[in-house]
């Protein structure tokens, strides 16, 4: 049986604006429609940030997050993931405020950033205390943490602070985020090193920023991983050509996966593959 590849879509993020791409979805309805189209094109996980519907600015407003999740859940049966990191750099949120939407809304999964770093010119604080507290709470809630590793050292952080401490039993899901200024550069050698640092049985995806989205994603797929596409990380379909929608980026990824002789996972297959904790 050939391996099934999981595509995650990150439709809006917290950094791009409509100046970068006028097709960026902002309201709950827009995000839900983009997610539905991405789902129909082959995505089975959606990674969500929230934005103020009037200004487009990133927001931590619980009711905006709630509206997004409600609209997405109504639109399609995609696996839902919300950020716990976006508000740290863009809004300067405190640790407990970053976790609040996860506690209140209980998505299938949430990002859990695996170490502190400089994110561009800003400090992105993710201390061992925060990692431990988030992992404990997500386990209690049955929400799968996706460990976001922006560098090789962050894989070690998860091993040391989470696995050895016995806070959460492996296997874990990882994202390798490559190409943020302050994080690991997006090269094939670096992705190979990240992949080889994980024990057998873990699931992972490659996230390349900007023009590295498709090259890193494709290499991730060739190495046995999954990939993420979407406007959060990249707004271009190809050099100088803005993507009309997130679905267009998902279609491109799906086309490459199929040309490589692999199949796309359905949402049901992804639910069986990912170490999801939801028992509901």
Q: Which residues bind Zn ion (CB under 5 A)?
A: 83
Return the number of the residue (69 or 260) whose C-beta is nearest Zn ion.
Answer: 69
Work out the angle between the directed axes of helices 95-105 and 128-141 (0-180°, nearest 10): 10
Provide, rounded to whole angstroms, the least separation between the CB of residue 280 and Zn ion.
Answer: 24
Provide, rounded to whole angstroms, the least separation between the CB of residue 205 and Zn ion.
Answer: 12
- CA quadruple 206, 212, 216, 217: dihedral sign: positive
Return the number of the residue (52 or 238) whose C-beta is nearest Zn ion.
Answer: 52
Return the H-helix or E-strand segment holding 174. strand 173-178
User: Are the CB atoms for 146 and 135 separated by under 8 Å?
Assistant: no
Retrieve residue 203's tokens: 């699931």
Q: Which string of DSSP letters, residue by residue, matches 57-88? A: -B---HHHHHHHHHHHHHH--PEEEE-SSHHH
Return the number of the residue (8 or 245) whose C-beta is nearest Zn ion.
Answer: 8
Residue of minimal Cβ distance to Zn ion: 83
Provide, rounded to whole angstroms, the least separation between the CB of residue 273 and Zn ion.
Answer: 21
Return the number of the residue (44 or 48) whose C-beta is nearest Zn ion.
Answer: 48
Return the H-helix or E-strand segment holding 157. helix 152-157
Measured in whole angstroms, the distance separating CA 128 from the mean position of its chain's CA atoms is: 21
Return the number of the residue (83 or 218) whose C-beta is nearest Zn ion.
Answer: 83
């Amino acid at each position: 049986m050939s391996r099934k590849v999981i595509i995650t879509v990150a439709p809006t993020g917290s950094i791009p604006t409509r100046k970068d791409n006028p097709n960026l979805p902002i309201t709950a309805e827009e995000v839900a429609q983009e997610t539905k189209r991405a789902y129909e094109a082959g995505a089975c996980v959606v990674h969500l940030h929230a934005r103020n519907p009037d200004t487009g600015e990133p927001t931590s407003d619980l009711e905006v997050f709630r509206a997004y999740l409600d609209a997405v859940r109504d639109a399609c049966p995609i696996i839902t993931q919300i950020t716990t990191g976006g508000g740290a750099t863009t809004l300067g949120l405190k640790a407990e405020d970053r976790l609040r939407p996860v506690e209140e809304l209980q998505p299938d999964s949430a990002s859990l950033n695996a170490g502190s770093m400089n994110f561009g010119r800003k400090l992105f604080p993710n201390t061992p205390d925060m990692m431990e507290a988030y992992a404990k709470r997500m386990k209690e809630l049955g929400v799968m943490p996706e460990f976001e590793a922006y560098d090789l050292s962050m894989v070690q952080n998860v091993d040391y602070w989470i696995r050895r401490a016995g806070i959460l039993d492996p296997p874990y899901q990882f994202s390798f985020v490559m190409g943020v200024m302050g994080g690991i550069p997006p090269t094939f050698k670096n992705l190979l090193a990240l992949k080889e640092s994980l024990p057998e049985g873990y699931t992972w995806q490659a996230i390349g920023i900007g023009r590295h989205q498709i090259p890193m994603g494709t290499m991730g797929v060739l190495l046995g991983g999954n990939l993420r596409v979407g406007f959060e990380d990249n707004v271009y379909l190809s050099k100088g050509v803005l993507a009309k929608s997130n679905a267009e980026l998902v279609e491109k990824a799906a086309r490459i996966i199929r040309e490589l002789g692999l199949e796309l996972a359905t949402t049901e297959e992804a639910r069986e593959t990912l170490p999801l904790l939801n028992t509901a």
